[in-house]
Structure formats: structure tokens, C-alpha cells
Amino acid sequence: MSSDTRDRPAETVTSDEVSLADVLDVVGTTLGIEERVSSFDAATPLFGTLPELDSLAVLELVTSLEDRFGITVDDDELTDGLLETAGSLHSFVRVRAGRAPDRS
């Protein structure tokens, strides 16, 4: 997993620097599934598929994402498909970090 953003304060992370690998690094570390996330891609389903991602783990994951990338997640956004796939989570984090993801 990429660790470009790990050692810098969250406020210096820009949306261009937030890769899917960075987001998956947070997912893997938070849920204790570091080995498994190496095989994840943007289409990998998250909530409802990963037994480790229960309601308490969602709160821990959101807090970890907020801390790592300097973003905020409102409670009502958790029901908007945020955790549907790895790609939807990555897109959300990039938008929150300042810029919508490229669609190429």
C-alpha cells in the first residue's frame, strides 16, 4: 500500500495525492485486514460484504479517514452509499480533500 500521505499532517494532503491505495491502507489497518485489501480494487464491495465492517467499525473507519486525510464526514452521509465499494469511498475522500476524482 502507498504511504505517501501517512507521515504528513492531514492538512497538507491534497485530493490529487489521495489514491485508492491510500484509502485502502486506512481500511486495511482499521479493520485489521491489511493482507486482504491488497487484492481489492475500486469495484470491491465493502459494507454488507466484509464481516469486519460492522457498525462500530464504520465509526472507527470514518474517524481514521478524517484523521488521515483531514476531512469531515457527516452522519447523514453514511447512508448515501459512501461505503458501498472501495471506489465510492475513494471518490468521497477525494471530493472531501478538495477535488472530484478524474473519470478517465
DSSP 1-21: ---TTTTS-GGG--GGG--HH
Of 18-22, 39-43, 82-86, 99-103, the one with minimum mean pLDDT is 99-103
Give me the pLDDT at residue 78, please.
87
Query: Quick one: which of 18, 10, 27 has its CA closest to 70?
Result: 10
**Structure confidence at residue 98 as a pLDDT band (50, 70, 90):** confident
Q: Measured between alpha carbons, how far is 52 from 98 in angstroms, rounded to an integer? A: 29
Average pLDDT over residues 13-29: 89
Q: Which domains, from first to last, does the chain contain? A: 15-96 (1.10.1200.10)
Which pLDDT score is estimated for 15? 65
Whole-model pTM: value is: 0.80
Quick: pLDDT tens for 33-64.
999 999 999 999 999 999 999 999 999 999 99
